[in-house]
Amino acid sequence: MAYTKFGPLTVIPGENGSRVPFSTSLLVEGGQGAALVDCGSGFQILNEIKKEYAIRSVYLTHYHLDHIWGAYLFKDAEIQINPYDVKKLNDVEELAKASGMLSPADPESRKKWMKQLFEKPPENWNRPHWQPVLNLTEKWYPYGEELNVYGTKMLMIHAPGHTEGYCCPYFPEHGVLFAGDFDLASFGPWYNNADSDIDAFIASAKTTLETDAQIFITSHHKGVVDRKTYEELLKRYINKIYEREEKTRSAVKRGVAPDEMIYEEIFYFRKNLEQNPQLVISEIVGIAKHLDRLVRNGEPFEAYFEAFLQHFQLTRENIFYHTSSVPAQLQ
């Protein structure tokens, strides 16, 4: 397979067009070894990389499974993740809270999910599964400091919103930013975990443009785009947030009951929710975050927001998670 290269950087697209549960990885080559940024490309692809290159370091942008599931293939490498996510990979309760799995009133779904994490071994180790990557590393990289990755300069730019610890690796010598889950997809931004933040997502989108990058690499869908294209698509992408907010506002004003709000297709089509209960949790958390934002921005929706939380047996702590364990210098 022919890969796109930028100097020592090689873009490794994931299986099925890097659609979830796969994602694009980035290979960084050097004279003393090589590194991978994210490990979600796919079992066969990652095994080929493992055979061909001496992977000595792995940098994970955040804890989402589609970005980390193949990291267990590189246990001999030094594996690092951002400082906010170390505890999530080593404490399943923290992982569940951050993911929103302990939020909505769906105990059977939660039990099933937790059992799959702890008790149920993967049916196919070649496919994404949590079990192989839990407790995989306790090491973390710093934000904003110049890292020497086998002769290549890399900075991890903190870009919270998608998750609280999310980062975008930046390679200033080559004008390349690994934009990752600023994926420019028509679906729009994804901020449906408990540790996601809408306002932070908007601010971080602007942060990606504060670099001198001329090449942007997304984890899904678009792949490699130039700066002009990225800027144009990013505007449409972020505008999806405001479209969702307007749909939420309109639904409340039309008198849509809290229990029916999840079928207003703010994020997912109703048919998708009926086919995949896991998406219902994401829908609930996402709507709750929009309702909270509307209230903070002056809409008189406090009573509705409280009714929504009560119906789904949520507390504010459930939908607004922040890790309780980060390095002292980040506090």
Report the residue count for the chain.
331
Q: Dihedral of CA 183/186/189/193: which sign?
A: negative
Q: Which two three-digit tokens encode residue 77?
A: 């490498």
| Residue 327 pLDDT | 65
CA–CA dist 231, 251 (Å, integer): 31
Q: Which two three-digit tokens encode residue 319?
A: 């939908």
Q: Could you list the mean pLDDT of each consecutive 10-residue stretch along the chain, which spans 331 residues? A: 89 91 97 97 96 98 97 97 96 88 62 70 80 93 97 99 98 99 97 98 98 98 95 98 99 98 97 90 96 98 97 89 72 52
CA–CA dist 83, 11 (Å, integer): 25
| Residue 12 pLDDT | 98
Q: Whose CA is closest to 188, among 129, 138, 238, 258?
A: 238
All domains of the chain, ordered by start, with CATH? 4-233 (3.60.15.10), 241-314 (no CATH)
For residue 242, what are the β-bridge partners? none
CA–CA dist 147, 190 (Å, integer): 28
| Residue 329 pLDDT | 56
| Residue 295 pLDDT | 99
Q: Which two three-digit tokens encode residue 109?
A: 């779904």
* Contact assessment for residue 21 and residue 66, using Cβ atoms and an 8 Å cutoff: yes
CA–CA dist 125, 131 (Å, integer): 10
User: Terminus-to-terminus CA distance in the chain, angstroms?
Assistant: 44
Kindly list the distances between the CA atom of residue 177 and the CA atoms of 58, 126, 195, 197, 214, in Å, as whole numbers in the listed order.
17, 29, 23, 22, 8
CA–CA dist 235, 50 (Å, integer): 37
User: What's CA 86's distance to the chain center, in Å?
Assistant: 15
CA–CA dist 130, 143 (Å, integer): 25
